[in-house]
A and B are shown apart, each in its own frame.
Chain A
Amino acid sequence: DTGVSQDPRHKITKRGQNVTFRCDPISEHNRLYWYRQTLGQGPEFLTYFQNEAQLEKSRLLSDRFSAERPKGSFSTLEIQRTEQGDSAMYLCASSLEEYGYTFGSGTRLTVV
C-alpha cells in the first residue's frame, strides 16, 4: 500500500484526556502536513514538516497541540487536555513536489 496511512481512524475521548494520532506518509515524500476539518468547513492548515524539521505552525495550533516527525519518517500529533472544540477530522498529507499532496483518510476525534 503506497498511500498515506493514519491511525486510529476514530478516537472517542473524555474531555481533559490526552490523545495522540499517527501518520505514515508515502515513503519518499519529504513534506508532511497536518490539517483539521470541522463539520461544514474545509480543511484548515495546522502544521508543516520538511523532513524532520517543523517549519511552520498555524495560530490554530495552541500550546496544547504538539507535532513531531522523528527522523523525517512518520509523524505524531498530540493534543493535551482535550476540549470539546477539538472534535474534528485530523488529516495528514504528504508530498514530494510542491503541490503533489496525497491525503490520508483522517482520524476522527470526538471529545465527550
Chain B
Amino acid sequence: DQQVKQNSPSLSVQEGRISILNCDYTNSMFDYFLWYKKYPAEGPTFLISISSIKDKNEDGRFTVFLNKSAKHLSLHIVPSQPGDSAVYFCAASDSGAGSYQLTFGKGTKLSVIP
C-alpha cells in the first residue's frame, strides 16, 4: 500500500512556463511534507518543505501548496528552467513518531524544454 503517490511518472514543460507537480497521501498522521530533486547518479537534494499548520510555503521560484482535507500537495516552479530537469520526489513524515523518517513517492521526471 503506497502511502505517498505521485501519479504522473513524467512531465514536459516549455522553458519559462509553470511546472506543477502533484502528490497525494493517504496516512492522516503525516504532518510534514518535503520535496526533493534528484539528478542521475546523485542523492536526492532537498528543495522545499511545508508543515501541516500551513497551506503554502514559498522559496524563490518554488512554491508548495498543501490541501489537508484533500490530502494533496503540489509543487509549482515558476518560471521553469532547463536546469530544473530532474526527478522530483514528494516525501511525507509523521513528526510524532520521533525518528523523522520519510515516506517517498515514486517520483515525477520533469523535462524542461528550451
Contact bitstring B72-114, A, C-beta under 8 A = 1, else 0: 0000000000000000010101010011111111110000000
Bound-state CA distance A2–B99 (Å) is: 23
Contact of B102 among A101, A102, A104, A106 (CB under 8 A): A101
Q: How many A-B residue pairs have CB under 8 A?
A: 51
- Give residues of chain A (31-46) contacting chain B, Cβ–Cβ below 8 Å: 31, 33, 35, 40-45
Whether A44 and B45, one on each chain, are in contact in the complex, defined by CB atoms closer than 8 angstroms, is no
Bound-state CA distance A76–B90 (Å) is: 27
Residues of A within 8 A of B98 (CB): 55
Whether B32 and A103, one on each chain, are in contact in the complex, defined by CB atoms closer than 8 angstroms, is no
Range, interface on chain A: 20 to 34
Contact bitstring A65-87, B, C-beta under 8 A = 1, else 0: 00000000000000000000000
Whether B44 and A43, one on each chain, are in contact in the complex, defined by CB atoms closer than 8 angstroms, is yes
By a beta-carbon cutoff of 8 Å, the part of chain B in contact with chain A is: 4, 6, 32, 34, 41-46, 49, 89, 91, 93, 95, 98-107
